[in-house]
Amino acid sequence: MTNDPKISIRKLYKIFGADPKSMLPHVHAGMGKPELLDSYNHVLGLQDINVDMQAGEITVIMGLSGSGKSTLIRHLNRLIEPTSGEVIVDGENVLDYTEDQLRRLRREKMSMVFQKFALLPHRTVLQNAGMPRRVRGEDEGSAETNGRTWLSRVGLDGYEDHYPHQLSGGMQQRVGIARALAAASDIMLMDEAFSALDPLIRTDMQDLLLELQKELHKTIVFITHDLDEALKLADHLVILKDGFVVQQGEPQDILLNPNDPYIEDFVSDINRARVLRVRSVMSPLNGETEFAGVVDVNDNLEKLIQMSGGDTTHNFKVQQDGTDVGILHMKALVRALVPAQSSDRGSIR
């Protein structure tokens, strides 16, 4: 068993323009995105990105429009070529790959789910779901059997012979997810996959992804501009601004310990009681015997507020899989609900 990351991004830079290589010394010397554009008419897309993505986890990359998040995810399968840096997948730098190696990477190791669904309109739902197997050269029967299996898993039994235009947006995206899963790849890249959906359908899709992930343990790289979605899905959260990483880490820790005014502003309007989990604010047991109740490490604080009736004198025993692991003091919970001091810049949301 190894703890090496599944994907490791090292010193990754992307500069758009006529002569990006010649711009690197300016960026290394500290020139930022606005200055590079004004002085040299080049756009700094990514700046010194260093991120490790662990196998079986969901890494969420988020930021506002223009932050570089979609540019970053397209470097992983080399839809965009970097100006400099490394993208290591399973110990190999994919930037050194030949065309044949890159083709195998995209066919066998990485699948992608797009914001705009990217289904083939002249193909049925089943044909779309089976497409990855056909591209690999498998026979029609095998491709359809595999596609049918994954359509069933995403709740589309009975829709195999429909065409994409006959489905709702949420159903079309389920086809997109089934197609990605049919590829049997270790890594799924999801670029704003739920952003085009209505809020209730979007929530259903998030729940579906988490449900599938519990069983499949894919390495998922998920792009979003929505902080609530990021906090719900992420095992590891990476927040970008103007092409560089402002903060990354476990989402609960970022919410409780923002390291930059930009992050403070980002998280200031979040419903912390709904997002924060017991595990983030509990303390070790220290001989206590009196408890108002028992809670799970992954319960949100909103549940604790309801259980306590707002009484800040209550303490709750915390368990994980039936084992005692800590204590939650309601006073600690109340302190956690107060966000860090926001900057004077005003909200960016």
Structure tokens at 245: 């990483």
Q: Is 337 helix (H, G, I), strand (E, B) or coil?
A: coil
Write the CB contacts of 209 (distance below 8 Å, at least 6 apart in sequence): 177, 220, 233
| 189 lies in the same domain as 59 | yes
Q: Would 6 be classed as within a structural domain?
A: no
> In this predicted model, what pLDDT tens digit does every residue of 7-31 receive, in sequence order?
999 999 999 999 999 999 999 999 9
Structure tokens at 187: 């890594």
**Phi, psi of 346, rounded to the nearest 5 degrees:** 90, 165
| 200 lies in the same domain as 332 | no
Q: Would 121 be classed as within a structural domain?
A: yes
Residue where the block lists tokens 């994919």 = 94
| 287 lies in the same domain as 182 | no
Q: Would 259 be classed as within a structural domain?
A: no
Cα–Cα nearest to 253, from 275, 271, 274? 275
**Which CATH number do you get for residue 282?**
3.90.1280.20
The H or E element containing residue 266 is helix 261-267
**Which CATH number do you get for residue 150?**
3.40.50.300
| 276 lies in the same domain as 225 | no
- The DSSP output letter for 257 is S
Structure tokens at 104: 């195998």
- The DSSP output letter for 277 is B
> In this predicted model, what pLDDT tens digit does every residue of 284-310 receive, in sequence order?
998 888 899 999 999 999 999 999 988
Please tell me the distance from the alpha carbon of residue 230 to that of residue 309, in angstroms, as a whole number: 29
| 67 lies in the same domain as 112 | yes
C-beta neighbour count of 44 within 10 angstroms: 26
Q: Would 345 be classed as within a structural domain?
A: no
| 186 lies in the same domain as 70 | yes
Tens-digit pLDDT profile for the chain (349 aa)? 457 899 999 999 999 999 999 999 999 999 999 999 999 999 999 999 999 999 999 999 999 888 999 999 999 999 999 999 999 999 999 999 999 999 999 988 999 888 777 888 999 999 999 988 888 888 888 888 889 999 998 989 999 999 999 999 889 989 999 999 888 899 999 999 888 888 888 899 899 999 999 999 999 999 999 988 999 999 999 999 999 999 999 999 999 899 999 898 888 888 888 889 999 999 999 888 889 999 999 999 999 999 998 888 999 999 999 999 999 999 999 988 887 654 444 433 3
Q: Of the residues 249, 281, 306, which one is the last residue of a structural domain?
A: 249
| 173 lies in the same domain as 292 | no
| 87 lies in the same domain as 235 | yes
Instruction: Give the per-residue pLDDT at 349.
Output: 37
- The number of folded domains in the chain is 2
Q: Which domain holds residue 235?
A: 53-249
Q: Would 280 be classed as within a structural domain?
A: yes
Structure tokens at 135: 């591209």
Interstrand relation of 236-241 and 58-62 (parallel, antiparallel or unpaired): parallel
Write the CB contacts of 171 (distance below 8 Å, at least 6 apart in sequence): 156, 159
Structure tokens at 223: 């792009």
- The DSSP output letter for 48 is E
Q: Would 302 be classed as within a structural domain?
A: yes
C-beta neighbour count of 65 within 10 angstroms: 7
What distances in angstroms separate CA 252 from CA 126, 267, 272, one per listed residue? 39, 11, 10
Check if the beta carbon of residue 77 is closer than 8 Å to that of residue 106.
yes
What distances in angstroms separate CA 148 from CA 29, 154, 159, 189, 276, one per listed residue? 54, 10, 10, 22, 38
| 173 lies in the same domain as 224 | yes
pTM: 0.86
Please tell me the distance from the alpha carbon of residue 152 to that of residue 309, in angstroms, as a whole number: 43
Q: Furthest-apart CA pair in the chain: how many Å? A: 69
Query: Residue 248: what residue type?
Result: Q
Please tell me the distance from the alpha carbon of residue 305 to that of residue 120, in angstroms, as a whole number: 49
Check if the beta carbon of residue 301 is closer than 8 Å to that of residue 310.
no
Q: Would 276 be classed as within a structural domain?
A: yes
* Mean pLDDT, rounded, of the chain: 90
Q: 169-182 and 199-216 are packed helices; what angle lies between their axes, rounded to 10 degrees?
A: 20
Please tell me the distance from the alpha carbon of residue 80 to that of residue 14, in angstroms, as a whole number: 9
Q: Is 268 helix (H, G, I), strand (E, B) or coil?
A: coil
Q: Is 118 helix (H, G, I), strand (E, B) or coil?
A: coil
Q: Would 342 be classed as within a structural domain?
A: no
Instruction: Give the per-residue pLDDT at 345.
Output: 43
